[in-house]
Structure 1
Amino acid sequence: MCKRIIMNTKSEVITIDGNTGEGGGQMLRSALTLSMITRKPLKMINIRKKRTKPGLLRQHLTALKAAQTICNAKVQGAELGATEIIFIPKEINGGDYTFDIGTAGSTSLVAQTVIPALAFADTPSTLAITGGTHTAFAPTYDFLQQSYFPILEKMGLKITSTIERHGFYPAGGGHITITLAPTKGFQAFHCRERGQLKNQKARLLIAHLSQDIARREQAILKEKGWTHVDIDSIKSCHSPGNCIQLSYEFEHITENFTWLAEKGKPAETLVNEVTHEATQFLDSTASIGEHLADQLLLPMALGKGGVFTTTAPSLHTRTNIDVIQQFLDVDIQIKKTNLCWEITIHPSSQ
């Protein structure tokens, strides 16, 4: 149970109910980002209500504390398991920041909470984040580096990143560093077509496990027609881990699909899962995959908007749109087209 929270501010307070929509952690992360940038106080209730373990887990708590740190916010409810918080932001400050999740919680999700806000700071920033770099139900570091960051750069943000150490479940301990310079605002992003396929490759990450596992996965992928399959043996990490990454470089975007191995799951099943997800995207005419679409909505809404095509919008996507529109006067339209969906974002200034 959360302690009784008293809000003492004259500013407009945005209340987000985590028991609506998809009911997960993205609602919290998006709300924190938007609260920082708009300077509108946030009250969130029923945090992660629809999850097996509701409330703040370590990665959500780290994201909350990271947001608090970069804008010197007043926060109530910042504790593990909390289902209600108050967040009253102040001015966003660039600088050098270090955040340690303490578990294999996703470093990428913590980074995505604060990057759009730091883009509006007055000075450059460096983020050093420790936790999980390749974990289930979260974008991997490679997704950020290959797919997400290049689009942010197209939108005007100067951003670079390195991975110092990989982190798998359950120990985590991965370490990434991200450097970004402020922007005067995100430029419009237009991408109705992904363009011609320029390159595709498969990459197998294996850490503290038998190389036979990776060789088996490699053989199965080659049976499915993949000729370029690299095996990367990861030495500097705290936990055993294995995942398959499929990367498709098109003219206008790069999509990255990753599935992590689980104890007892046959290599054939793992390969089939990741290739099935990739095939669903390739069989559509969409320019942007489902997960990348989720990540692009916020910077586009904060900037000059734009348009992209994607696969069928998930409840995740629709919930993110709802959260964005509670903070911003922005028109976001979704319409069905041939073999895909088109999402158009029109900020109020346009």
Structure 2
Amino acid sequence: MNLILRLFTFPDLLFSLILFFKFINLNKHCTPLSDRNMAVKEIDGSKLEGGGQVIRLSVALSCLLEQPIQIIKIRAGRSNPGLKPQHIAGIYLVKEMCKGVTRGDQQNSCVLSFEPQSLSMGNFNLNVDSRTAASISLMIQSVLPVAIFSNCSSTITMKGGTDVRFAPPMDYVINVLFPLYHKLFGISCDIHINKRGFYPRGGGDVKFTVNPLNYNGYLKPIEMIDSGSSFESTIRGIIFITEKDTAPVVGQPRLRGSHSKFPPTPSFEFAYDIGVLIKKKLRQFSYNDVKIEINVEKSNVFHGSVVLVAESEKCFIGSSIIYDERKSLTDIVMNVCDKFLMDLMAKSCVDENTMDNLIIFMALANGKSKVKCREITLHTKTAIHIAEQLTNAKFQIKQTEDRLNEIVCEGIGFKRHII
């Protein structure tokens, strides 16, 4: 007994007690949300667009608001329902940011439970590999709203598809979404493409860096209801194309035929012709000063994308297409130019794809936001539905005198909480 007393002196006992009470206090802060009497909100994953957007926005808002959710009927209306690799990759990233607990985050699962803890503060050095051509741009849709409310810069490495169908190509994210987020909300982020990835193998490798908000931890409300000055001096085209290492096949149709399929001639020449036809098309509508940038990358498959960007003082219009050897020059140019011109001629302030990406930020912003757009897509309606279901944000859609749509949102003024 005397030996034990000699081993544990008063300072030792005091130090042990301090550690014990710190441990108890830490456990209080780590109590699962299910034990904090927070009701789980159920979200029907088959409503409206009924696809991955429901998952991406729901998980991001769940993490930020510390609101446990259960998503049911995930992609129920699709021919291949349930979670796919890109959804699971996005869920994993957000889960790591808030040390969440998940159930059902497996491929083809039609029910997902997501139970967040408090948003972790610090530098997120995360890596995710979808092992498929899962869209990296759609993973960013889940991660970005969460990362901006950290108190440090975040670095996230993502592997998958950079330019795949049914998702914005990476050049659209870099040249349309990110500049607009910075201009409107003060969001500062950057992407470095180490390698492009395409369907079906993927293999793309992207380093994504996000800085925290500087505006007192709040998102600023936005107003984009006046098309303002002319777009003409700021129209740009970004053409990306791969060049296969295989030798040309003799007897294929020549490049200069605008209706021909992609011939095995140098890729730069093909991309150059796309640029020529885009300029010709836009000149028909008096847009005479269009700058074209061409980027060629070696690959064992043929893929490409075209992004058009028009920026004025108060508006930002983008359009994009992803193409392969099945697309003719005419198809590529018509597809990328038609919606672009419709938005410009209608004096819309954003394009339809940008609009649905803005909804979550409008819901979180500190005050009333207003944005005027030409078309309210099903994706935009879905984003509004999820935002209203998980936050107290209120949206209104008004038709303007010039037959455009004005989306008005009273944001909740979400603020970063430093722990």
The answer to whether TM tops 0.5 is yes
Instruction: Give deviations 1:214-272, integer Å, cap 9, x for gaps.
Output: 2442343343237533332113x564311222121222343321111133222111211
Cα distance in 2 for residues equivalent to 1:336 and 1:138: 28
Matches within 5 A, 1:174-189: 174-183=204-213, 184-189=217-222
Q: Deviations over 1:150-173 (max 9, x none)?
A: 233231333233222222222222
TM-score by length of 2: 0.77
Is 1:193 aligned to residue 226 of structure 2? yes
Cα distance in 1, alignment partners of residues 195 and 139 from structure 2: 17
1:311-322 map, 5 Å: 311-322=374-385
Matched pairs, number: 343
- In 1, are the aligned partners of 2:130 and 2:160 still within 8 Å (CA)? yes
Inter-CA distance 230–323: structure 2 relative to 1 (3 Å threshold): same
Partners of 1:230 and 1:152 lie apart in 2 by 22
Structure whose alpha-carbon radius of gyration is higher: 2
2:405 to 318, 341, 344: 341
Q: What pairs with 1:249-328 in structure 2 (closer than 5 Å)?
A: 249-304=311-366, 305-328=368-391
Alpha carbons 1:281, 1:289 under 8 Å: kept: yes
CA RMSD for the aligned pairs? 2.1
Matches within 5 A, 1:1-350: 9=35, 10-93=37-120, 94=122, 95-153=124-182, 154-183=184-213, 184-196=217-229, 197=231, 198-209=233-244, 210-211=266-267, 212-224=269-281, 225=283, 228-235=291-298, 239-304=301-366, 305-337=368-400, 338-348=402-412
Name the CA shift for 1:123/1:202 in 2 (closer, same or farther; >3 Å).
closer
Distance 2:345 2:34 in 1: 53
Rounded Cα–Cα distance in structure 2 between residues aligned with 1:252 and 1:219: 28
Cα distance in structure 2, aligned partners of 1:335 and 1:253: 19
Q: Which deviates more from structure 2 when the two are superposed, residues 24-33 or residues 153-162? A: 153-162
Report the Cα offset of residue 91 of structure 1.
1.7
Q: Which runs of 5+ in 2 are unaligned?
A: 1-32, 245-265, 415-419
> Is 121-130 or 266-275 further displaced after alignment?
121-130
Kindly provide the CA deviation profile for residues 53-82 of structure 1, in whole angstroms up to 9, marking residues without a partner as x.
111111011011111111111000011111
Give the conservation status (yes or no) of the 8 Å contact 2:43–2:70: yes
Matched to 1:254, the amino acid is F
Cα separation, 1, equivalents of 2:300 and 2:220? 40
Q: C-alpha displacement at 1:182, in angstroms?
A: 2.1
CA shift digits 1:118-168 (9 cap, x unpaired): 212233211111111111111222222222222332313332332222222
Query: In structure 2, do the counterparts of structure 1 residues 222 and 98 end up closer, same or farther at CA, with 3 Å as the change threshold?
Result: same
In the superposition, relative to structure 1, how do residues 8 and 91 fare at CA in structure 2: closer, same or farther (>3 Å)?
A: closer
- The farther-off stretch of 9-18 and 192-201 is 192-201
Question: Residue 258 of structure 1 contacts residue 274 of structure 1 at CA under 8 Å; is this kept in 2?
Answer: yes
Determine the C-alpha separation between the residues in 2 that align with 1:238 and 1:37.
Answer: 41
- SS of the equivalent of 1:264 reads coil
Higher helix share: 2
Distance in 2 of aligned mates of 1:301 and 1:349: 8
Q: TM-score scaled by structure 1?
A: 0.91
Which whole-Å CA distance do the structure 2 matches of 1:205 and 1:155 have between them? 28
Q: Deviations over 1:29-53 (max 9, x none)?
A: 0000110001000100111112221
- Taking only the aligned residue pairs, the percentage that are identical comes to 27
